[in-house]
């Protein structure tokens, strides 16, 4: 008999979409995939060269659990110079992707039945990760007029004596919202007063367009002490398949994470670590070029969405997604199940465009569209979305 913890785990919506897309492609259909949050860029050449050189130098043996010293030193330097966060190398643990860094943190911080606060909309895996470590996810409603950013008011209605940790995603997946310094200060003050840790997932921090990015751990010494900063290389350096992320925290938490990782993993791939080191050290220009391209794509896709009827969206200041409000179309569906899943399934089957249902992020009246692909693909996808919407409104109860 399998573990009871699996009884409450929801399968990944995004993996389900990917499976459907692959089946359609294998059957010969031309599918536009706007569901995946993966850069269409390649890993920068100079970063790859560091990995190649490491292999040629036979750097393939066991090393330090927390990660290569040169990489942790470079991460420390990046956090100090770019984020104004004073983390030393021994406060950093390199892991197999940001997902793994988050799981390590949850194992280090929470006990069974501790509550973890998760603002809605949320990244698809947060709640499931919390449940896997036997803690309790507690989802917090936020307001559209505030671009779904968390406030003290939202927090005040959500805490109990069991509240242990807040997960803050900045910039946000799926909304692309970026927190201001004042907004972060209000959240920090609340967490300090109520003895709540902050897990700050900053995987998209390089991909900011209109707002200055601020790490919450940079706001004060007290902020750093209660914050576990999570970051990685999948989005900024297009290293999705190389699986490398990291956590930065106070020495006590870092030691706990290091102990956990030592038993579960030993350490991440040395080759991936050398590539990440190269990305930090030698590829700032290439990363900036990627970010400028995402900004251009953001401007293109939002200008196109502005012309579509019956929908609204959250204007993204970061990341590479648009979170689209489709609530005005709900009357065109006769379903007792999830509206956003039904919407996305119909769109995929009839127009061969894959997007992510909002229910995956806790918001059933929304869908997420990625613009991490080429502009030809997402612009054609939006054209097809326009046709789909017009068809829906001409023929209610679309079947």
Of the candidates 86, 382, 72, 83, the one whose C-alpha atom is nearest the C-alpha of residue 246 is 72
204 is a domain residue: yes
Whether 28 and 57 map to the same domain: the answer is no
Where residue 60 sits, what CATH number does that domain have?
3.40.640.10
Contact 198, 227 (CB under 8 A): yes
Q: Based on the fold, state whether residues 151 and 238 are members of the same structural domain.
A: yes
pTM over cut 0.75: yes
67 backbone φψ class: left, alpha, beta (φ>0; ψ -120 to 50): left
Alpha helices per DSSP H over the chain:
13-26, 45-56, 69-83, 98-109, 126-132, 152-156, 181-193, 221-226, 251-264, 270-282, 284-305, 339-351, 375-394
Whether 277 and 202 share a structural domain? yes
Same domain, 311 and 208: no
Which pLDDT score is estimated for 325?
98
Q: In angstroms, what CA-CA distances link 331 with 146, 174, 326, 389, 397?
A: 26, 24, 10, 12, 7
Boundary of a domain, candidates 265, 283, 301: 283
**Same domain, yes or no: 28 and 140:** no
277 and 349 inside one domain: no
Q: Is 399 among the domain residues? A: no
Among 250, 283, 316, the domain boundary falls at 283
In a domain, 393, yes or no: no
Helix (H) or strand (E) run with residue 200 in it: strand 197-201
Q: Does residue 347 form part of some domain?
A: yes
Q: Pick from 357, 354, 362: which is nearest to 384 by CA?
A: 354
- Measured CA to CA, the distance from residue 345 to residue 17 in angstroms comes to 9
User: What's the number of CA atoms in the CB half-sphere (13 Å) around residue 333?
Assistant: 21
Q: Is 33 exposed, middle or buried (0-12, 13-18, 19+ CB in 10 A)?
A: buried
Together in a domain, 327 and 274: no
290 shares a domain with 277: no
Decide if 372 is inside a domain: yes
- Range(s) of the domain holding residue 332: 4-42+285-388
The pLDDT of residue 399: 47
Residues 89, 180, single domain; the answer is: yes
Using the 3D structure, point to which of 233, 263, 283 is the last residue of a domain: 283
Query: What is the CATH number for 382?
Result: 3.90.1150.10
Task: Clarify whether residues 158 and 200 are in a common domain.
Answer: yes
Name the domain count of the chain: 2
Same domain, 65 and 140: yes
In a domain, residue 193? The reply is: yes
Please tell me the predicted confidence (pLDDT) of residue 395: 64
- Give pLDDT tens digits along the chain (399 positions): 888 888 888 877 877 888 888 899 899 998 999 998 999 999 999 999 999 999 999 999 999 999 999 999 999 999 999 999 999 999 999 999 999 999 999 999 999 999 999 999 999 999 999 999 999 999 999 999 999 999 999 999 899 999 999 999 999 999 999 999 999 999 999 999 999 999 999 999 999 998 789 999 999 999 999 999 999 999 999 999 999 999 999 999 999 999 999 999 999 999 999 999 999 999 999 999 999 999 999 999 999 999 999 999 999 999 999 999 999 998 888 777 899 999 999 999 999 999 999 999 999 999 999 999 999 999 999 999 999 999 998 865 444
Predicted local confidence at residue 115, as pLDDT: 98
- Within-domain flag for 36: yes
- 185 and 294 housed in the same domain: no
| 396 part of a folded domain | no
pLDDT, tens digit (0-9, with 9 covering 90-100), for 214-258:
999 999 999 999 999 999 999 999 999 999 999 999 999 999 999
């Amino acid at each position: 008999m399998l573990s009871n913890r699996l009884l409450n785990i929801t399968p990944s919506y995004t993996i389900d979409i990917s499976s459907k897309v692959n089946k359609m492609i294998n059957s010969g259909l031309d599918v536009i995939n706007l569901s995946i949050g993966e850069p269409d860029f390649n890993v920068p050449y100079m970063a790859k060269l560091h990995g190649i050189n490491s292999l040629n130098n036979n750097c393939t043996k066991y090393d330090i659990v927390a990660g290569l010293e040169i990489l942790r030193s470079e991460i420390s330097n990046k956090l100090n110079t770019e984020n104004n966060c004073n983390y030393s190398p021994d406060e950093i643990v390199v892991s197999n992707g940001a997902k793994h860094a988050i799981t390590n943190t949850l194992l280090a911080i929470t006990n069974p039945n501790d509550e973890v606060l998760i603002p809605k909309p949320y990244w698809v895996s947060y709640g499931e990760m919390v449940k896997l470590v036997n803690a309790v996810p507690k989802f917090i409603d936020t307001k559209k007029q505030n671009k779904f950013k968390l406030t003290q008011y939202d927090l005040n209605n959500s805490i109990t004596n069991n509240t242990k940790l807040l997960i803050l995603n900045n910039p946000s997946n799926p909304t692309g919202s970026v927190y201001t310094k004042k907004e972060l200060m209000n959240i920090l003050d609340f967490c300090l007063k109520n003895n709540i840790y902050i897990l700050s997932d900053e995987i998209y921090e390089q991909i900011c367009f209109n707002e200055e990015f601020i790490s919450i751990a940079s706001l004060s010494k007290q902020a750093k002490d209660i914050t576990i900063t999570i970051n990685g290389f999948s989005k900024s350096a297009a290293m999705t398949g190389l699986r490398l992320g990291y956590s930065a925290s106070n020495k006590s938490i870092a030691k706990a994470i290091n102990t956990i990782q030592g038993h579960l993993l030993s350490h991440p791939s040395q080759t991936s670590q050398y590539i990440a080191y190269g990305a930090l050290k030698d590829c700032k220009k290439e990363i900036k070029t990627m970010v400028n391209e995402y900004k251009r794509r953001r401007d293109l896709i939002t200008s196109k969405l502005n012309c579509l009827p019956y929908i609204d969206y959250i204007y993204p200041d970061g990341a590479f997604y648009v979170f689209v409000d489709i609530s005005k179309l709900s009357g065109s569906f006769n379903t007792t199940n999830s509206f956003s899943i039904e919407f996305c399934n119909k769109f995929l089957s009839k127009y061969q465009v894959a997007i992510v249902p909002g229910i995956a992020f806790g918001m059933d009246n929304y869908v997420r569209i990625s613009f991490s692909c080429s502009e030809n693909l997402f612009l054609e996808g939006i054209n097809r979305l326009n046709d789909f919407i017009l068809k829906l409104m001409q023929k209610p109860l679309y079947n």
